[in-house]
């Protein structure tokens, strides 16, 4: 975490659209996050999010997974590129690759992800369609530290949205995405301000366990504090 006056240096990993990246860039530019994105790395050369970074004057790199023979080789190359910038935090913002255990261990406590469900519900892909198929009344998004278990690391913040009668996966995704753009910058701001501490499988905010965490029913009562202003 950053010392009081030096902004935290971030690397963001993306694969596609980059709307979360855009929200984070915006809040950094507004000085609501004491952090600076040094580099955006994409595994996909065509990721529209690369343009968002370039327009904001952020360095970009493409490390295309198709050019590597194995996951381990790819992850090593990715690690090398990230470590060249010596980031305080690595932010996965729609990075659609599973990372090897070595990679995750290397960044333990400084690698975070946003997942479009109220974890621990609906790990993995296609969460919006699965929320509808399961008849869930609530759905949402979670920001978490990344551990070796997919979508199972300590939760930093969640936001819930209602599932409406006529929802399609797309309409539900849109409602969830709005919340993602609210909670991801907030989680990064907390990290950059040194407010987060990992305590076992819990995250403490300002030394306190968030009451909404760890009760195993996130969908009933998700954590939704005040957003950063837009
Ligand atoms: C988001 O829904 C995020 O939760 C998931 O991938 C999507 C990325 O969207 N991990 P974007 O590229 O940030 O627009």
The pLDDT tens digits for 161-176 are: 999 999 999 999 999 9
Task: Write the residue with the smallest CA distance to atom 8 of ligand 1.
Answer: 94
Predicted confidence band of residue 6 (pLDDT cuts 50, 70, 90): confident
> What's the rounded mean pLDDT across residues 194-198?
97
168 in any annotated domain: no
pLDDT band at residue 230 under the 50/70/90 scheme: low
Q: Which of 122, 127, 180 to mutate to test the pocket of ligand 1 (most atoms within 8 A of CB)?
A: 180
Report yes or no on 92 lying in a domain. Answer: yes
For residue 120, say if its preceding peptide bond is cis, omega within 30 degrees of 0.
yes
Number of structural domains in the chain: 1
Residue 108 lies in a domain: yes
Tell whether 198 is covered by a domain.
yes
Q: Is residue 77 part of a domain?
A: yes
19-29 vs 169-192: helix axis angle to the nearest 10?
A: 40
Question: Please, which residues have CB within 8 angstroms of residue 79's CB and are 6 or more apart in sequence?
Answer: 103, 106
Q: Determine, yes or no, domain membership for 132.
A: no
Q: Which domain holds residue 50?
A: 8-113+141-150+180-211
Q: How far apart are CA 99 and CA 119, in angstroms?
A: 19
CATH of residue 53's domain is 3.40.50.170
Is residue 5 packed enough to be buried (19+ CB in 10 Å), middle (13-18) or exposed (0-12)? exposed
C-alpha 146 – ligand 1 centre gap (Å): 15
**16 occurs within a structural domain:** yes
* Predicted confidence band of residue 217 (pLDDT cuts 50, 70, 90): very low
Distance CA 116, CA 12 (A): 18
Q: Which residue has the tokens 């990075």?
A: 95
* 115 annotated active-site: yes
pLDDT digits (tens, 9 = 90+) for 109-137: 999 999 999 999 999 999 999 999 999 99
């Amino acid at each position: 975490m950053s010392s009081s006056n030096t902004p935290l240096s971030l690397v963001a990993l993306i694969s596609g659209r980059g709307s979360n990246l855009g929200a984070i860039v915006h809040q950094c530019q507004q000085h609501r996050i004491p952090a600076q994105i040094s580099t955006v790395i994409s595994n996909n050369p065509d990721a529209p999010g690369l343009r968002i970074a370039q327009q904001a004057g952020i360095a970009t790199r493409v490390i295309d997974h198709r050019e590597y023979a194995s996951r381990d080789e790819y992850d090593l190359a990715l690690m090398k590129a990230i470590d060249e910038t010596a980031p305080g935090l690595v932010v996965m913002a729609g990075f659609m690759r599973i990372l090897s255990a070595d990679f995750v261990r290397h960044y333990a406590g400084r690698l975070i992800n946003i997942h479009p469900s109220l974890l621990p519900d609906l790990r993995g892909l296609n969460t919006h369609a699965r929320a509808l198929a399961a008849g869930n009344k609530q759905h949402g998004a979670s920001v978490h530290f990344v551990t070796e278990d997919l979508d199972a690391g300590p939760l930093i913040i969640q936001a819930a949205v209602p599932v409406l009668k006529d929802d399609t996966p797309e309409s539900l995704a849109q409602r969830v995405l709005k919340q993602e753009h609210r909670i991801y910058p907030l989680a990064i701001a907390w990290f950059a301000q040194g407010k987060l501490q990992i305590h076992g499988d819990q995250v403490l905010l300002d030394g306190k366990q968030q009451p909404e965490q760890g009760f195993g029913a996130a969908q009933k009562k998700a954590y939704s504090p005040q957003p950063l202003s837009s």
